[in-house]
Each structure stands twice: as structure tokens, then as C-alpha cells.
Chain A
Amino acid sequence: MNEKPGEKILEAVNVTKHYRMGNVTVKALDGVSIEIKHGEFLVIMGPSGSGKSTLLHLLGALDLPSSGTLLINGKDISQFDDFQLSMFRRNYLGFIFQTFNLVPTLNCLENVLVSLLPSGVKFEDEKHAVELLKLVELGHRINHRPNMLSGGERQRVSIARALMNDPPLLLADEPTGNLDSVSGGKIMSFLKDLNRKEGVTILIVTHDRDMALYADKIINIRDGKLLDVEVLKDRKIHKKHKKVMV
């Protein structure tokens, strides 16, 4: 992907999401509009139940909004069929989950390559996957199964998996939620580096303010509505957390 920084990569216009629970309709999202530009490092923050995960799922094309539109490079996502959605997720997005979601029967290398398994893995893909595992400092763990890794290591495998198809956008749902603060800080600074050096756009959902401070911009959500947007000066925060890291 060779989009220029500053261009819109993903845009949600006035999206709502309703769930029916029995006879009650729950408004998980109520008219939210956000735009994500290339090269940004965004955090969506809010307490649990605020609708932040729902927003992430909509942005990741895992679910369709009840109303409103989601535009990817100006194209309406609701017009996509199953094949187009899958291709969009494979080539355009990288997902990082709170619970890592690695396939327990596959080793690290295979987990990184998992998106390519149905279509077939080429030699270059494998080379690329090994490079990614080295990048996340797991070059020595290539043949290990997830159950032999620590939580932080697992999350790094899942980052390598998310980066496998060089997506312009990484979506992470509480990526540090299941990690201790040291491993969590390491993951966040790694994502930060990725954003700075590789220009990968990153959107993280979290309720942890410490982790949110790595971002350029924090979007606060309450009760399915956009509360405010904080713009942070990143350098200070970066330094502050480097202490924790060492």
C-alpha cells in the first residue's frame, strides 16, 4: 500500500449499532463519526460497555452497522460481498486480540502464515514470516507452539501475524489487557516503533490510560457516543514509559 500520510484510510460516518437482547434493544453505538488518516496512532478509550469494541469490530469489517456508512478509501463497506470482505481483512487490516487467538495446533511460523494457508504458502511468504518473527524478537521460537510461550511472546506472535500481509492498518482490541505492565509496555512501544518507523497506521481500543498515552490521539467514548478527542504530545510520554521498560 502506498497511500500518502494524511489521507483518509477509513471513515465512519454517523454509525449506529443496535443489538436485540430479548425484547430490549441495546444501542451499543449511537451516531459515531470518526476518520483515521494514514500514519496515525489512535487509541479509542472508554470503560467497558461504552461501545469501543463494537466500533473496532465495525471498523474491522467484522460486523455491519445498523445505520450509517463505513468508507474504506471512499468505498462503502456494506456493498462488499463475503469474498471482498475477506480480501479486505486479509490485505488491508491486521488484527491483534486481547486473548491473542493463536491457533494452538500450529507453531509460531505457521500461526504467522495462517491467513495464507487456504491459498497456499510460497517460499517468499515463509521468508517474510521468519523476518517478522525476528522483528518481534522471536527468531529463536519459530517452531514452538503457542502453549510453550509466555503471554507477551504470544502477543508478539500475533503482531507478526497481523503484519504478515503488510496491511496499512493495524486494529488492536485491548492488546495489553491480558499482560503484566512490563510485557504490556514492551508491546506498546513496539507498536509505537512500528508506527514511527514503518508508517503503519494503528488503532487501539483500551480502557487502560497508561497504555493510551502511547498514542498521538485519544478518542474517548461513553455510552455509545463520542465524548472528546485528546491530542497528545508523544515525546514526553514516550520517555516516561521507557523507564518502566528498563
Chain B
Amino acid sequence: MFKEALLNLSRRKSRTVLALVGIILGVAAIITLVSVVDGVASNAEDYLSEFKGISVTQKDVVTPLYSSFDSEFLNKVESIPGVNIVVSAVVGLSNVTEQKRGVRFSKERTMMQMTSEIVSLLGVDLKNYSRVHGTVTPLIGELEEGRNLKMGDVGKTVISRELADNYRKRIGNSIELADKKFDIVGISKSGVSFGGMMSGTAVVSIDDAREMLDLEKDKVGLLYVEPIDFSNTKQVANRINFVYGDDLEANIQGDFLGQAMGIFSSLRSLVYVVGAISAIVAGIGILNVMLMSVLERTREFGTLRAVGWLSSDVMKMVLFESVLLGVIGGLLGLLFGVFISFQITALSGLNTLVSFEVLFFSFMFALAVSVLAGIYPAFRASKMSVMEALRNE
């Protein structure tokens, strides 16, 4: 019966191939789309998980840029049980006031150039900054080269990789921010972006930043809180919110991670829906192929019934053909989808992640669609009157 099903499918090659292409594309579409989303999500997870600790801002501000509160809160937060180190910081936007190297001077600056000159400026209180945990720079993530700022680093800066690449800077170079020269002592892997469209982040001492941003001495915008035990981060954040909830808002970076992952997960469901629609279209293709093939073979079914096949035997054979289409199409679709995912990574550098889960689900989907699409034609084939079928020309 297996052989016959295979032969029956090969009898109408072009039609079978078209139905197969439908399934292959459906399955490949699911795999490719999901693998791209998963790849991006996994990048974001890596990126966001670098940020540890708690950030405290003024309550109910949209971004830390608008956050401002009394610097006295530093000592208050420090005295909360479980808190190890508190670094006060100010946050603002600054701009690079030098020409990019290698870029020809032009009087008319484009929008792109102007926005690329804007940087997120993070002024940190150096007294506690050097005591924070390991190679992870608070608020801007892992240090890639050089060192963190330490006590007395006035006129020095740690910039993000993006900013360094934009202006072709290396450790030991200087960069001009708001008409003030800073020596670059370190480069961090990632930066923070408080409003999008910024080309990077620069970390300087809080005094330098206050001067550049014209801020009062007794106000801070942000507290970075490191708990004694990182596994208690959530509890410590809750305590800060409980005690100073009227004025301040403590967020753990993981919350943001959770939110971002939530977005990716809904994006993933969306992609599954898109894939499912293409698979259903493929299913209609199978339905068409099977219906046509059943109608064409009416007399053959009549003969089979006449030589003693049960109507259920006929039904099984047709259903089997349809499932065979689904299995072959599904397997080829898996190969094709994985191939495309790898090609995307190879050609565009976009990270893709092909999970076992997506392979399993897309294959099961192809199978389910082929079974569903086969049921009606199989039913029709089995319900034909033997004699009518034999008379069919």
C-alpha cells in the first residue's frame, strides 16, 4: 500500500510537486521566522542579563532623563538592610563636539550626523563606583577594554563600543564632549539608551557631568544599588520601594528583561500565526491535489471495490497518500527552513536560533494539515457507489 501511494503521487508529478512546494514553503516559513525571532531574543537576553543590581529613580518618570531627587536619599538607601553599595549618578544627553575622523567636512549637517553626535551621558559618583562588582560596569554592562573609572578620574571617560567605533577612538585617545576634552580609559561592550537614536554612552565623573549638564550639586538623577547577595536583588528592591515608595522607584534590571522577553514571546506567537496561515494555504493545496486525484481515479476505486477491497481500505489508501505528501513536504520543509536560517546568519550576520521545539511543531503542523486535507477526499472515495464508479469514464 505504501508503494502504491507513492506511485499514485508520482503519477501526477507536477501537481504533486506544487502541493509539496506549498507545504515546504509553509514549514520553512515557520522555521525561518521563528528562528530569527529566537535569535534576536537570545541576543537581547545576553545583552540585558549583563545588567545586574537595582536602579533607583524618581517615582513616576518616563525615563531616568527626567529623574531628579535629593542627594540625601543616598545615605537613606544605604542604610536599608541588604544594601551593599550605592552609587549616585546623574543622567543626561550631551553631544560630541568634534568632527568624525575621515568624514569630509560639510557645511550642511545631515539629520543622521546630528543625531549621531548625541550621546547619553552618565555622571557617576566615583567614591563608591570603583567598589562595585567585578568587570560589570553598573548601568552600562560589561567592560570590553581598559578599566572602570576610579577615584580622582576627573576628565576621564569610559565610552561604549558603538561610540568608540563611530569616532574611531581607542583607549588613550581623547574625545570632546560638550567642548570638554576627556581621556578614554575604558570601552564597554554595550551602552544605555535613554531615548533611542543616540550613538552611544559616555560615563564620566558626577562632577564633570553636573558641570556639563548644568545641574545642582544636591540633586541626583539615579542611584545604582548593589545588594550584598545578588540572589536577594528582588527583595532589596521591594524594601526600597516599601520605605521610600512615595518619592522613589526601584527597578531591578531583570524586570526589564522579563518585559523584553514578553515582547519577544508575543512576537513569536505572531510569527507562528503567520506560519500557520501559510501552512493552511498549503493544506488547501493538498486538498486540491487529493480531490482531483480521487475524481480521476473513480473507476480505479470501483475496480478495487469490485475485486474485494473494503470501503475503509480505499479510505485508508487515500488518507495515506495525503499523509505521505505531508511527511515528505514536512521533512523537505525542515531542511529548507534550517538552510535558510543558516543562510540568513551567514549573509546578514543576524543571529538565528533553530530550536528543536520549532522543528517539532512545524513538522507536526504539516502532518496535521495533511491529515485534515486528506479526510474529505478519502471519505468521498470510500463512499462512491461501486457500480457508479465503474461506469465512470
Chain A residues in contact with chain B, CB under 8 A?
57, 60, 62-63, 82-83, 86-87, 89-91, 95, 97, 99, 101, 103-106, 110, 114-115, 117-118, 161-162, 165
Residue B210, interface by CB 8 Å: no
Whether A103 contacts B309 in the complex (CB less than 8 A), given A62-B387, A63-B385, A97-B390, comes out as: no
Pull 19 A–B residue pairs with CB atoms less than 8 Å apart, ordered by A: A63-B386, A83-B310, A89-B305, A89-B306, A89-B307, A90-B307, A95-B303, A99-B299, A105-B8, A105-B11, A110-B4, A114-B304, A115-B307, A117-B1, A117-B4, A118-B310, A118-B313, A118-B316, A118-B317
Q: Distance in Å from the Cβ of A129 to the closest Cβ of chain B? A: 13
Cα distance, A106 to B307, chains bound together (Å):
15
Within 8 A of A (CB), among B308-328: 308-311, 313, 316-317
Chain B residues in contact with chain A, CB under 8 A?
1, 4, 7-8, 10-11, 299-300, 302-311, 313, 316-317, 385-387, 390
Cα distance, A57 to B388, chains bound together (Å):
10
Whether A103 contacts B300 in the complex (CB less than 8 A), given A57-B387, A62-B390, A118-B316, comes out as: yes
Which residues of the partner chain B approach A101 to less than 8 Å between Cβ atoms? 299-300, 302-303, 306, 390
Closest 3 pairs (CB-CB, A-B) = A90-B308, A105-B7, A118-B313
Which residues of the partner chain A approach B316 to less than 8 Å between Cβ atoms? 118
B7 to chain A: closest residue by CB: A105
Which residues of the partner chain B approach A106 to less than 8 Å between Cβ atoms? 4, 7
Given contacts A89-B306, A103-B304, 17 further A-B contacts (CB under 8 A): A62-B305, A62-B306, A62-B387, A63-B385, A63-B386, A86-B305, A87-B308, A89-B308, A97-B390, A101-B303, A101-B390, A103-B4, A104-B11, A105-B8, A114-B307, A115-B307, A117-B4
Cα distance, A229 to B153, chains bound together (Å):
123
Question: Do residues A63 and B308 form an inter-chain contact, with CB atoms below 8 A?
Answer: no
Which residues of the partner chain B approach A87 to less than 8 Å between Cβ atoms? 308
Whether A82 contacts B387 in the complex (CB less than 8 A), given A103-B300, A104-B11, comes out as: no
Which residues of the partner chain A approach B10 to less than 8 Å between Cβ atoms? 105
